[in-house]
Every structure is written in C-alpha cells, then in structure tokens.
Structure 1
Amino acid sequence: MSEERNRQSKKELFTKKKGSSTGKVFTLLGVLVIGAVAAWFLLGQGASDGIAAVKAENGFVNLTISDLDDGQAHFFKLATGKGDIKFFVVKSVDGVMRAAFDACDVCYREKKGYRQEGDFMVCNNCGQKFRTDLVNEVKGGCNPAPLARRVESNQILIAKADIVGGGWYFGL
C-alpha cells in the first residue's frame, strides 16, 4: 500500500496542473510598481543633489537671510531654458552674506563646483581653498566667481540678469 501511495504521489508531481497565471501576473505587477517607486525616489522626485531650486520674481531671486546665516554654504540653482545655473550663498567668518557662482574661471569646464570645509570653500576639481571672507572680494583664477547681491532687511536679492550672465560657466 505504501508503494501505491509513492506511485500516486510521484504521478501527482508530474501530472499536477499548474496554478492559474493570475497570481503570477499580480506578482509581476507588484514588482514593477515597487521598481517604479524606487526609480522615482532615486532618479526623480526623491533624489536630491543638495541644491535647492530657486525662481526669480520681479527680476530677482529673494533669499531669506535668517535661513542662511548659519555659516554654512547654501547651494542653489536657477533653471533657464537651456539648463541650470548654480551658485552658493555663505555667511563668511566676518559676518557678511556673500554669493558666488558654483564655478571659477579656471575649472568651470569640469563642472565640479565647490564644497565647504570650515571657513574655506574648496574647489572640487583642483582642491584649492579660499577663505569665505574673500568670496566676492577676490576675482579670477580658481576663486569662486563673484555674484552681485544686495542685502535689504532680512533678504538677499540677486538679480536674475546677473545669474543668467554667468551661464557661460555652465555651458549655457
């Protein structure tokens, strides 16, 4: 009798009807949905390059100083029809709010910009360091390219025309 059961079990293994394809379709759809959500976060909405997008209103980008006066460089990008123009604002060691393009006259072709290390802005391409209190003061070479700004009350105002004028640093 046990031999008969073994034969029957083996026969069922080989002749067992496959389940419906509905379960497989739902499984595949679930995997696709999860993949799409992951791609959205990694490549789209959820991805962040650490650079805040800004818009100009009435010809100016307006930034609130109290959001930026922590001594850290804050990076921004202004979208144009041809691409983004990147810049940063930093409250330097002497307490002045300063602005510069995230590029310089020498290394701009590499499109690597700057990072902050303490009281210095460091070129991500060549590694040269520049004190934050010299941003907007020293021009040329590998210094961060100055960006004109105006301080009014608790606002930093940067003319859109001045930002767009630096588009050549970004191949625009």
Structure 2
Amino acid sequence: MSDRQDKKAQFEKTEKKGPVIWVVVAVVAVALAAGAWLGLGGSGSAFARVEAQEGKVRIPVSRVDDGKAHFFTYRHGDADINFFLVKSRDGVIRAAFDTCDVCYKEKKGYRQEGNVMVCNNCEQTFPTERINVVKGGCNPAPLVRMVGSGNVLIAAADLKKGAWYFQGN
C-alpha cells in the first residue's frame, strides 16, 4: 500500500463504540433505578409536609378524595412521622402511618396499586377498605382521624404516638 492509501484507510476505519455505549447506558440505568428505590421511599413520591394548628393537622377533603393515596409527613422532634390518606372504594377516607409493626425498621413504607396498598418491604397487599379496620402484623398502622367541616382532622397527639416507628434504630 502507498502512503496515500494508508492515510485513506486510517480515516475510513470506524471505531466500534457499541459495547462502550451499552455499558454506559446500563450503568446509568442501574444508578437511576437504585436512586429512585433508595431515595424516594414510601409511595415513590415526595411527602407533603404538614403542621398542626391548635393541636390538629387539617387536610382538605378535596385534596384526598380521588381514590389515590396521598402521603404526608409531620415533624416531631428529630423524627419525620410519615402517614397517608386514601379514600377507599366504599367512600371512607382512611388514614395510616406509612409503616407497620413488622417492617417499620426498614423504613420503606407503602405504595398504592389500584385498590390495595403494597408494603415496599415484604410486598404484602392490603385492600384500602381494611385500613383503620385491621391492626397489627404488616397491616398499615392505623391512624385516628375524623372528617368534619370539609377537612380530615388528625390530632398531633395521635401522630406523636407513632413517632417511635420513624426514629433511628
């Protein structure tokens, strides 16, 4: 080959970047998935921070009457107390801490899939109609609530009773 043909051949070669690109794509996908799983917790979404006024947390019914689980956090001392509200198919607004008596140490909470809440740790499912009715085990830990004057009312004292679930272990 002549020098000219060698130069031409050098520039005509295509580098095989395929394997490198696939490795980069795989690493990025794994990192994003791990970040989502570890960082979001609970419902997979951010918890709306709520505060008590006159000893009660007030959340408008209109904010939670769509059949979807809505996740909140209430700060007490050094603990963020996480809970959710969901209107079940029977029309009742349910409330529970975002944890249970069994899996609370894992701090993974629940997610909603259709009309059930799913424990993010053990994958057990719980019909929304049973929240506040069935207690113990891996059932969502019930939270006392009242509905009145267009609001869901939760006493700060009742939220504080669940602080032990969320403190460092």
Report the TM-score, using the length of structure 2 for normalisation.
Answer: 0.72
Give the corresponding residue for 2:103: 107
State how many pairs are aligned.
126
Answer yes or no: is the 8 Å Cα contact 2:76–2:163 preserved in 1. Answer: no
Query: Are the structure 2 counterparts of residues 167 and 126 from structure 1 closer, same or farther at C-alpha, using a change threshold of 3 Å?
Result: same
Give the alignment partner of residue 146 of structure 1, picking from 139, 142, 149: 142
**1:167 maps to what in 2?**
163
Deviation of residue 50 (structure 1)? 1.5
- CA deviations on 1:86-130 (whole Å, 9 max, x unpaired) are 000000011100100000000000000000000000000000000
Q: 1:158 aligns with which of 134, 154, 160?
A: 154
Gaps of 5+ in 1: 1-42
The answer on 1:83 being equivalent to 2:62 is no
Equivalent residue for 1:119, pick from 115, 140, 145:
115
2:95–2:142 contact (8 Å) kept in structure 1: yes
Which amino acid in the other structure matches residue 127 of structure 1? E
Q: What amino acid sits opposite 1:52 in the alignment?
A: A
* Aligned mates of 2:81, 2:61 — CA distance in 1: 21
**2:70 paired residue number:** 74
Amino acid at match of 1:84: D
Give the Cα separation in 2 of the matches to 1:153 and 1:133.
Answer: 23
SS at match of 1:109: helix
Unmatched segments (≥5 aa) in structure 2: 1-38
What CA distance in whole angstroms lies between the structure 2 residues aligned with 1:49 and 1:82? Answer: 21
RMSD (Å), alpha carbons = 1.5
- How many angstroms apart in 2 are the aligned matches of 1:62 and 1:114? 22
Return the letter of the residue paired with 1:159: A
Work out the CA distance in 1 between the residues paired with 2:97 and 2:148.
Answer: 21
* Structure-2 separation of matches of 1:81 and 1:140: 25
Q: Shift of the alpha carbon at 1:153? A: 2.4
Deviation digits for residues 140-163 of structure 1 (CA, Å, limit 9, x no counterpart)? 000000000011021110000000
Q: What residue number does 1:8 align with?
A: none
In 2, the alpha carbon distance for the partners of 1:148 and 1:118 equals 23
State the 4+ residue runs in structure 1 displaced beyond 4 angstroms.
none
Q: How much has 1:49 moved relative to structure 2?
A: 4.6
